[in-house]
Amino acid sequence: MESDKVAPKVLEQFASNPETTEAYALGVNQYGDPVFMNPKKAWKAAKKEYKEGRKAGDHKLHLKHSSKTFYMAYIEAAKTVDQNDELTDLQKKRLKEWANFLEIYKNSFPEKARR
């Protein structure tokens, strides 16, 4: 299996906030990819912190609501979000931040559990 590598600046996004350091504690999986040590805590913190990005994906991009098991569509949407004229620059930025979280979150589970 080929792993998706996460950019160092993305990792910094989760290490830089002292209020959420515990929730976003990082480890490494068997493929060398970053994972959240406690995905449940990370999900709870990210759901609040990246609410604007989630909502932009939900409403403007006509995606199903994100959940602990349905999130891969948000990662894909963030890759082409700059081409979307319906979103503001801030919404685009927030969606990308949400997708950054999801990139690490997905590594925290076996591949067969991802949707």
d(CA 26, CA 6): 12
> Tokens standing for 39?
């995905």
pTM (2 d.p.): 0.81
Find the mean pLDDT for residues 39-52. 92
Q: Is the pLDDT of residue 62 over 90?
A: no
- The tens digit of pLDDT for each residue in 13-43 reads 777 767 777 899 999 988 888 999 999 999 9
Q: What is the mean pLDDT of the chain?
A: 84
| Mean pLDDT on 53-71 | 82
Sequence spans of domains, the chain: 8-110
